[in-house]
Amino acid sequence: MKKRNATIWLIMAITAVSFLMVQCSKSEASQSTDNYNYVSPAEKSLLLEEQNPDNDIIIACIYDCINSMPVEEISDSELAAVTYMREEELLAHDVYVALYELYPVPVFNNISKSETIHTVAMLALLEKYALPDPAANHQQGVFEEPVLQALYDTLTAMGSASFQDALMVGATIEDLDIDDLMVDLAQNVDNTDFTYAFQQLLRGSRNHLRAFHAHLTFQGLIYTPQYISQELYDQITSSSWQVGNGFCVCSFPSKDNSGKMSEE
């Protein structure tokens, strides 16, 4: 957890660097709002895989999935990981909602909805083990964890500077999320349900990073990763969209001829 305690100092340091990088690149990037509605190929896949008009079905499926797995004794590190990640996914959601209000660009709206599904998965784990929910009384932009509160304040301020800065914020959030999830999977979680849920969040975050990378490229901007390695960033952003089954086939609910739910 030491890395997480240091996160706020890292983000404060990179804010100025990232902002300057965007400002220096703006002369080469298009400033026209006509480019706001660009939809990358990655986002088209996102719309197909993660957005469904009946979120109640997806949420119910997530709970069924998590609860169908064995109940195992949880460690202190698993408790800390799920508690932190519950709010970290809400942070991503809230930042994207705030940015969408400033810049009505589909990428912020689409991914904020996906983050809702991610944080519900963490809530399902908390409820399965009767653990306290740090976001039980969550209000937009307000967090129990001081590190995440400072991150929210910093990132929303940075994103409000310009559309290009907002895209940098999106890449930064996914960069951080991927790194935290990878650390949790390697060091902090090993129960079947925890491992599965965190793996699904990691897959989703890689897809989100691909979407923001596409937008930045379209704007003529380059994001330098602050948390994962440049090698991993390049590997993720140059690889194809990861299509999966979501949470136990929760992403594509449809009815077959028998009326049962199945995957499209």
DSSP code per residue over 82-142: HHHHHHHHHHHHHHHHHHHHHS--HHHHHHHHHHHHHHHHHHHHHHHTT---TTTT-BTTB
pLDDT confidence of residue 23: 43
Instruction: Count other C-beta atoms under 10 Å from residue 223's C-beta.
Output: 23
What tokens does 105 get?
């660009």
CATH 1.10.540.10 holds for 54-250: no
Please say whether the beta carbons of 148 and 87 come within 8 A: yes
pLDDT in single tens digits along all 264 residues of the chain: 445 555 555 555 555 444 444 444 443 433 444 556 665 555 554 544 444 446 778 888 899 999 999 999 999 999 999 999 999 999 999 999 999 999 999 899 989 988 999 999 999 999 999 999 999 999 999 999 999 999 999 999 999 999 999 999 999 999 999 999 999 999 999 999 999 999 999 999 999 999 999 999 999 999 999 999 999 999 999 998 776 555 676 654 333 333 333 322
Return the H-helix or E-strand segment holding 239: none
What tokens does 15 get?
């804010």
What tokens does 200 get?
């699904």
Estimate to the nearest angstrom the gap between the alpha carbon of 22 and the chain centroid: 22
Estimate to the nearest angstrom the gap between the alpha carbon of 199 and the chain centroid: 12
Cβ-based burial of 26 (10 A; exposed 0-12, middle 13-18, buried ≥19) = middle
Half-sphere exposure at residue 57, Cβ-oriented, CA atoms within 13 angstroms: 17
The pTM score is 0.82
Between CA 1 and CA 80 the distance in angstroms is: 8
- β-pairing, 261-263 with 253-255? antiparallel
What tokens does 244 get?
């999966």
What tokens does 253 get?
């609910």
Instruction: Count other C-beta atoms under 10 Å from residue 209's C-beta.
Output: 24
In single-letter form, the type of residue at position 170 comes to: G
